[in-house]
Amino acid sequence: MRLIHCLNNISAQGTDLLDPKAYSLTDSLDEAEGILVRSAAMHDMKFPAGLRAIARAGAGVNNIPLDRCADEGIVVFNTPGANANAVKEIVLCALLLGSRDILGGIEWCRENADDENITKAAEKAKKQFAGQEIRGKKLGVIGDYTGALGIMTITPSEGAIIGADVAMKAANVEVVFVDRFNGSLIINGTVADVEAAVKDVLNVLENTLHFAPTVITKS
């Protein structure tokens, strides 16, 4: 029976996939032979003597001391694409929030919650929150931008800050948008500069931070 310790809260939808005849979860790190981790920092952690493998619930492994694991014979692996559905759903959410003033409507309801005639008032007020349909619309960046756009989604999301710094140093590009909470990064410049910057960002994330790489696509 292999004992597995979770450094972070791991959904039962994941841990239930472990064969109960071969694996068992333990609250004791000292007796763990395997570790499941999300974002917990492990660089200063003392590994138990029997530790054989560390699994990162996500793509990046920058919170794991890879060199020390290699020296001690501990296998490290990640799960790229595990949060792909969540990323896609967040993108859809952002599209809807950008086209319809949903948050404004929620705030209006809160401000008028005690109005006895809120139903009639809502009929008059709802037009200001209507927005527009997203069907048939094209994605773009508002502002005086020309040339090409480089769009990246980086996990762990804090990597977007690193990516922005690398991109600006690698080529003559401007950071249009960066969000360290969802990992979104958009840069602007000539086609050649954007391509060079994106390649450099991928190089740093893959070879320095040991993130799982992706393929650059163009449209």
Give me the chain's average pLDDT, please: 90
92-142 pLDDT, tens per residue?
Answer: 898 888 888 999 999 999 999 999 999 999 999 999 998 888 888 776 666
Please report, for residues 103, 137, 186, 187, the alpha-carbon distance to residue 178 in angstroms, rounded to integers and kept in the order given.
21, 23, 6, 9
- Per the CB < 8 A criterion, the answer to whether 37 and 8 are in contact is yes
